[in-house]
Structure 1
């Protein structure tokens, strides 16, 4: 029940913020409206403070999100490639693994096709994961299962390193720069506030003006859903693992934890949109079923390659000051922006 309630808080927050709407995502990536970016940065700033407080008070003890390596270029090549594929898919479909669930709850037509593409990606990725695991030794498989159980506490899975291991390479910003976490957090908050203020001064956020809800209020609502998740289940928000879990059902692997959280996202978005009809989109972005299906596959497959999505890496991972999450977020927005301009 706690997973469902936590998901419902996130679904309601995404709906209130308006960033679930395909047009808000598409206009961000063609640089005509910056509602999404301002909301995202505000959510990251608020979530970082909440997660730091929870770690300090002992409510959570979450290590940084570990690198996602494909073994080709560097230990972060999976974060960069997967993040880029996710960002490009967002510009194609107007959705991400979290917002597509809110779209389903609110009743956005293109979201249904994007969800179908995401489910196909989940089936494909779960098969790849099971094949990869079967190629490992029994001891390695046991270790992978133990690590994955810890990973899922951070929301998206496949993104946590080993906490307190002095021998491992730096996986957080403060480790990389040789400063304590408090200093790094103050620096992050300062940078986020500066960027938010600059974006607000130099760009437009017409989508938020039309809805009567500022990006800052929307971002804080998403940060508040992070707090709900911490209090109810001692875990951070993240959604893309649910698609892998659902895909695994095809191959006989029955897991439900992240599926329940994601079901909560759908129900929370539905409930708030029913209670406040003004939160529903007046018009829908014109996205063809084929484009939505393709983009849906890209966002989920990319998220699983990167070990997390816009919420798992972009909100939760940044809050843990994980290097992998900063690189993933940069790849998402960079590739999404390039793709958005090419599609214009």
Structure 2
């Protein structure tokens, strides 16, 4: 339990030090007005990919690729598309994601963080009590309807399996693409700052200062990569946040289950798991990890306040909008089976096809929402 808390502390401190916790950074990225969040995210994914690959090669951990989320509407990955869309819309409306909202609270941005957290918790409760059982029952009925048909071909979960190439070649190519993207974004940042970086006395800001500012998002991504390292070392698993809201919802519903027996609702595959006939096994590790994010952000804010972003204005988001955004992003994350950390930083590091689909959908809808309505 302590390892989960400490891993969360490291992740929360990294999110805060990198600056991506700030609502304005998230909103400006989705409006395509500033690219520092994407640069941080890509650097974090690149470092996470190296770490997870090294741990796999050394047989220190074995992380399975992210599974597809299928709702049975139009494709075996329709849950990733629809869930990602809800996640992206919620991120735009709340200027948060399931992990950064916790860092916002730790850093003292309560005007945005608290109502977003309320919406996120409501989503966890509704998901656990109603939406998840309904989807389980639906998928069970769809499975029964396919009985007797020929066995479906096992779908490739990873990019290298889908392309039929070596895992190491795919990983190297992915690292190359991420490195080129980060280098390009850094260069664009330097080019945009250099002509206008004038000082009050009419002089120009030193190139070293300009380069340092442009490279700050990438440095933040490396810090998040170190937090991934802490999670791998301390608890043998990778970072992911949105499951904490689901597990918290399970605590709310637990007294209403029949006390006769206990079962792990995530491991049951029959329709009885979608009912309230038995109590699920309560899990606290993800909740402790999420709690650690708040503590880590708070500790950093108290000990090193200079690292906090005090220059960017906090967006004036109505309470109802923040609550709605928090609700949508956590609902979407659970439908898709992960959020920007679970699918984004970890899932993409594992070259999971479902993670690329989810994050692509989230970014597309998040940008569309921010540029159209905000």
* TM-score normalised by the chain length of structure 2: 0.80
- Separation in 2, partners of 1:184, 1:135: 36
Q: 1:26 to 1:136 in 2, by over 3 A?
A: closer
**8 Å contact from structure 2 (residues 71, 139) kept in 1:** no
Aligned length: 315
Match of 1:325 among 355, 361, 374: 355
1:49 aligns with 2:50: yes
Shift of 1:129: 2.2
**8 Å contact from structure 1 (residues 33, 203) kept in 2:** no
Match of residue 163 from structure 1: none
1:337 aligns with 2:367: yes
Match of residue 97 from structure 1: 98
1:234 aligns with 2:236: yes
Shift of 1:84: 1.2
Match of residue 21 from structure 2: 20
Aligned 1:286-325 pairs, distance under 5 A: 286-325=316-355
Segments of structure 1 that go 5 or more residues without pairing to the other structure are 141-166
Describe the superposition over 1:172-220 as per-residue Cα deviations: whole angstroms up to 9, x where unpaired.
Answer: 00001111111000110111112222333345898x98x9570110000
Aligned 1:120-135 pairs, distance under 5 A: 120-127=122-129, 128-130=131-133
Q: 1:323 to 1:36 in 2, by over 3 A?
A: same
- Separation in 2, partners of 1:133, 1:71: 11
Match of residue 176 from structure 1: 162
RMSD (CA atoms) = 2.2
Match of residue 220 from structure 2: 218
- Separation in 1, partners of 2:72, 2:187: 42
1:195 aligns with 2:181: yes
Q: Larger radius of gyration, structure 1 or 2?
A: 2
More moved, 280-289 vs 17-26: 280-289
- Separation in 1, partners of 2:184, 2:139: 49
Q: 1:169 to 1:136 in 2, by over 3 A?
A: closer
* TM-score normalised by the chain length of structure 1: 0.87
Shift of 1:82: 0.6
Match of residue 251 from structure 1: 253
Describe the superposition over 1:215-265 as per-residue Cα deviations: whole angstroms up to 9, x where unpaired.
Answer: 110000001111100000000000000000111112105321100110111
Shift of 1:134: 7.1
